[in-house]
Structure 1
Amino acid sequence: MLEWVTNTIGSMGYVGIVFLMFLENLFPPIPSEIIMPLAGFGVAQGNLNLGLVILSGSLGSILGAFPWYYLGRTVKAEKLESWADRYGRWLTLSSKDVRRVVSWFAHRRGNLAVGLGRLVPGIRTYISIPAGLTRMPMVPFLFYSTLGTVVWISFLSLMGYVLGANYERVRTVLGPASGVVWLFLIGGFIVLVVTRWLRQLAR
């Protein structure tokens, strides 16, 4: 994969960065932690411009968020609530829980969730789905998505520029951090499920 990313950026330049970052949002196994530090390394070599690298990476990432956003818009909250009432008991999930999440996301807290979510590996791709589900207006969605994305892309690009030929160390550092985030989320989910299950047994 690294060779393919290298060849794509080498042959297509900024267009290649846009293309790769678009795919990264559709197929998360193509990590931005490789693409953007490699582009930053290209800046250090004098082959690319840092500002255009950040612009290209951000543009591709934002374009890749749209399919997930519109996927969320195709799912009606009523259907999700119906599914929760029918099958959610295995996860102690009810339509009331779905409504609570939708309400939380819809009442402006979604802006913060989208902005911060674009900074978290593994989550940044899928944060667009609840934004679409709650019919988050396009302007705030674009603004906060862009804000978080530019910060993330700038960080990765600068790390690649600073580390030079050792740009792959960025992924080595961010990999464990991403794992900690996922462990925290999964652990929190398990605690929630077990707590609700125990409450149901106590009734």
Structure 2
Amino acid sequence: MDESENLNLFAQWAISLMEALGSVGAGVAVAIENLFPPIPSEIILPLAGFTASRGTFALWEVLVWTTLGSLVGALALYGLGAWLGADRLRRIVARVPLMKVSDVDRAEAWFARHGEKAVFFGRMIPIVRSLISIPAGIERMPLLRFAVLTTAGSGIWNCVFVFAGYFLGENWSSVERYADVFQLVVVVAVVAALAAFVVLRLRQRARGTMVS
């Protein structure tokens, strides 16, 4: 299946939801996208904006429901993180090759210092925008604070893409091409960081300096 077929598949799925549920359907699609990052919000949001431009429903409805959908999806992942918890995460990490329990401690310390910024700005970064809710749940960030930061960050992200689709009209799908470049940069950065981590741990193991 090529890129255009993927675009048509996701677009048709989002259209069917909006036809059945109106602007609420856009919110449902975004909530599902938060839980399953391979579903691209870069298609759903501009399409919802384009649909609003045709008068099917009001622009403000799209912005409200898509942001609410983002919050609902994020809360579900926050709940997953809270269920997992730091202690269970440590037990899992202890069994993972090349990982150390102290990695969890460092991650907790980092999140304690930068968690609010991570949640807010993370909502505007592909892939991260879904996953950032899990460590917030693990570290039990106060729920109201998490909800406010998530709503604010998601609102900005959603507004950019919904407005783009609204003003581009029939050319709404062109937004996805530019968003793909941003996502590719993020993926390359993540892969590079993971590769560097693995190389470092293998060198530590070779020198016998790797401890828990």
TM-score higher than 0.5 = yes
Deviation at 1:150, TM superposition (A): 0.2
Residue equivalent to 1:45: 54
Residue equivalent to 1:67: 76
Is 1:140 aligned with 2:149? no
From 109, 121, 131, give the equivalent of 1:103: 109
- Code of the aligned partner of 1:97: D
Q: Distance in 2 between matches of 1:74 and 1:4?
A: 31
Q: Distance in 1 between matches of 2:128 and 2:38?
A: 13
Equivalent positions of 1:81-92 (< 5 A) are 81-85=90-94, 87-88=95-96, 90-91=97-98
* Cα deviations by residue, 1:119-143 (Å, 9 ceiling, x for unpaired): 1111211111000000111111011
* Contact in 1 for aligned 2:27/2:66 (Cα 8 Å): yes
Paired residues, number: 199
- Code of the aligned partner of 1:201: A
- Code of the aligned partner of 2:102: K
The sequence identity of aligned pairs, in percent, is: 36
TM-score by length of 2: 0.87
Residue equivalent to 1:177: 182
Residue equivalent to 1:165: 170
Is 1:150 aligned with 2:159? no
* Contact in 1 for aligned 2:85/2:137 (Cα 8 Å): no
Q: Distance in 1 between matches of 2:92 and 2:151?
A: 33
From 81, 85, 93, give the equivalent of 1:76: 85
Q: Distance in 1 between matches of 2:167 and 2:23?
A: 20
TM-align CA RMSD: 1.6
Is 1:194 aligned with 2:194? no
Deviation at 1:144, TM superposition (A): 0.9
Deviation at 1:105, TM superposition (A): 0.8
* Contact in 1 for aligned 2:27/2:68 (Cα 8 Å): yes
- Code of the aligned partner of 2:104: V
* Contact in 2 for aligned 1:20/1:60 (Cα 8 Å): yes
From 96, 120, 123, give the equivalent of 2:125: 120
Q: Distance in 2 between matches of 1:199 and 1:129?
A: 29
Q: Distance in 1 between matches of 2:157 and 2:129?
A: 10
Q: Which structure 2 residue ranges, 5 or more long, are not aligned?
A: 1-8
Q: Distance in 2 between matches of 1:94 and 1:161?
A: 48
Q: Which structure 1 residue ranges, 5 or more long, are not aligned?
A: none
Deviation at 1:47, TM superposition (A): 2.4
| Larger CA deviation: 160-169 vs 191-200 | 191-200
Deviation at 1:48, TM superposition (A): 2.4
- Code of the aligned partner of 1:14: S
Deviation at 1:19, TM superposition (A): 1.4
* Cα deviations by residue, 1:67-96 (Å, 9 ceiling, x for unpaired): 1101101113122223323x23x22x2111
Deviation at 1:161, TM superposition (A): 1.2
Q: Distance in 2 between matches of 1:197 and 1:25?
A: 34
Deviation at 1:4, TM superposition (A): 2.5
Q: Distance in 2 between matches of 1:28 and 1:134?
A: 22
